[in-house]
Structure 1
Amino acid sequence: MTATLDRQSHRDALTFRLADLRAQRDQVLAEITPAGVGDDADRATNVEGHVNLAVLDERIVAVEVELNETAAGRSAADGTVSVGDVVTVDFGDGAETFLLGSVEAASDGLDVITPGSPLGRALQGASAGSTVSYSPRPRVNLDAKVIAID
């Protein structure tokens, strides 16, 4: 599978997703804000709405952080993997191509490795041709060879 996603397209996808998440947050906030006062307001507590609001806030922060990392990221010329790169890795059974980024930035036909995952942390800073080791769970160590960085 060959797929490319340049930094600007990645930023555009994140910016679009951020606007969508903020709109969802505004809608949930409007739904959980009590319209009345006193007893009406006390009864209007919407626990599920507050949980949804907290989840949206976390997702918004994650996208904002990724946008900032992408803006401050290393140039493609330095030859190492950074957030927003499309990276091809071989787990020992053939090359596979992924986006190193958030699921919010996923594009059609391109699987995502999140930067905070064990493999994502191992890939950051690796160069093409290097082999990285990561531990997906306790007492399990795996290797992956970086084939290409786009």
Structure 2
Amino acid sequence: MKKIMLLAVASLMMAGPAFAQSAHMTANYGEIRLSAGFNPDPYRVEMHAGGGVNGAHLPGSCIGSISEAPDFEVTYSAGSLPLVFRTVSRADTTLIINGPDGRWYCDDDSFGDGDAEVRFNRPQSGTYDVWVGVFGGETAPATLLITETP
């Protein structure tokens, strides 16, 4: 019986790390509360994008290397305007967002020049946890833009 228990413990220890992406962790670069019509628009967050987690493990078409914790958290009070998240970087960045509905939204190059964009035409009020990833597994300086201007 002891051998079986030791084998079970050893096999658990040798297994690869579980995917531990968590929208409930404290965001790496802070958080903000925004309401429809916020100013300044766009709201800018400077950061280092990327991390040691493969975003492809998430549901949907997510890609890019990201951190375990979200990079930024936005608690948003919606109005009639769209809510748009964009990245700007010299690196090829990606966006992964866990929306207030619990769904995952992902993009790689929609903003052009290797930058990403996720647009919510009818955003919900609630918390948006945002990861800014990089394609290729490194980290890179990046700016997250949050805007209501399409």
Q: Same fold (TM over 0.5)?
A: no
Higher helix share goes to which structure? 1
Which protein is bigger by CA-based radius of gyration? 1
Higher strand share goes to which structure? 2
TM-score (structure 1 length as normaliser): 0.30
TM-score (structure 2 length as normaliser): 0.30
Which structure has more relative contact order (CA 8 Å, sep 6+)? It is 2
